[in-house]
Amino acid sequence: MKVKDSLRISGKIKIDTFRAGMVELVTPLLEHLKALKDSDLPTHSYLNRRTEIDLVKKKIDELKAAYFIQTAVECPNLIMDSPNYGLDLVIQRLVGINTYSGNILWIEIGTGSTTPTVNDTALTTPTLRAAVNFQEDYATTDAIVQCYITDAQLANATYKEIGGFVDGTSTIGTGQIFNHALLSPTYGKVAGQDTTIQIDISVSNS
């Protein structure tokens, strides 16, 4: 039997569109879901909390399904690989260097069309930064983060790039970029639509 001795980290981007109003309805549920995940309940309350989490996630999924228009983009993205960015942030945490949290807290979308490289430190032409509203450890191999953007927050335009950022603030460009994608196809935002952006980072033995 061949022993697997290498680790592969890859990622993808997905942009979904919804009829305007979805984000407003879902936001309180997302906040409730986060509070449930962060709560420090006694052991005997774990099953009740797990059940409530599942119910809230089901309600979120139902609302999204009712307002769903289409998946506008689904494409791979590049993980950065330079000191203090991307892969190096994972390595730092493994060896006890905790300068950065390692948490992807922000997602930026922009109009730049330059092909990403592993040495990128920012988007080419960032337009909007949105806070991550949902995080999930999926099946032990995938980290899923999502942001929910209202119709009013995102201007109608053609968007060509997306990146996820560890730490930083609501100010565009702050924090440490983790991944950078050139969208294919591009995303043409139109009036009357809410937008969700999902970054999926997959870690597997290859």
Q: What percent of the chain has pLDDT over 90?
A: 83
Mean pLDDT of 11-34: 96
Q: In the structure, what pLDDT confidence band is assigned to residue 110 with cuts at 50, 70 and 90?
A: very high
- Chain-centre distance of CA 69, in angstroms? 20
pLDDT, greater one: 4 or 41:
41
pLDDT the model gives residue 5:
59
pLDDT, greater one: 10 or 153:
153
Global pTM exceeds 0.85: yes
pLDDT of 4 above 80:
no
Buried b (16+ CB within 10 A) or exposed e, 55-93: ebbeebeebbeebeeeebbeeebbbbeeeebbebbbebe
Q: In the structure, what pLDDT confidence band is assigned to residue 3 with cuts at 50, 70 and 90?
A: very low
Q: Among candidates 80, 99, 110, which has minimal Cα distance to 167?
A: 99
pLDDT of 47 above 80:
no
E strands, the chain, where? 7-19, 68-79, 81-82, 85-86, 104-110, 126-131, 134-138, 142-149, 158-166, 176-188, 193-205
Phi, psi (degrees; rounded to nearest 5) at 154: -110, 120
Mean pLDDT of 47-60: 90
Mean pLDDT of 116-138: 96
Of all helices (H) and strands (E), which one includes residue 32? helix 22-38
Mean pLDDT of 161-189: 98
Task: For residues 108 and 89, give the distance between their C-alpha atoms in angstroms, rounded to a whole number.
Answer: 19
Phi, psi (degrees; rounded to nearest 5) at 174: -80, 160
pLDDT the model gives residue 38:
85
pLDDT the model gives residue 93:
94
Q: In the structure, what pLDDT confidence band is assigned to residue 155 with cuts at 50, 70 and 90?
A: very high
Mean pLDDT of 166-189: 98
The strand pairing partners of 200, in sequence order, are 12, 144
pLDDT of 43 above 60:
no
pLDDT the model gives residue 2:
44
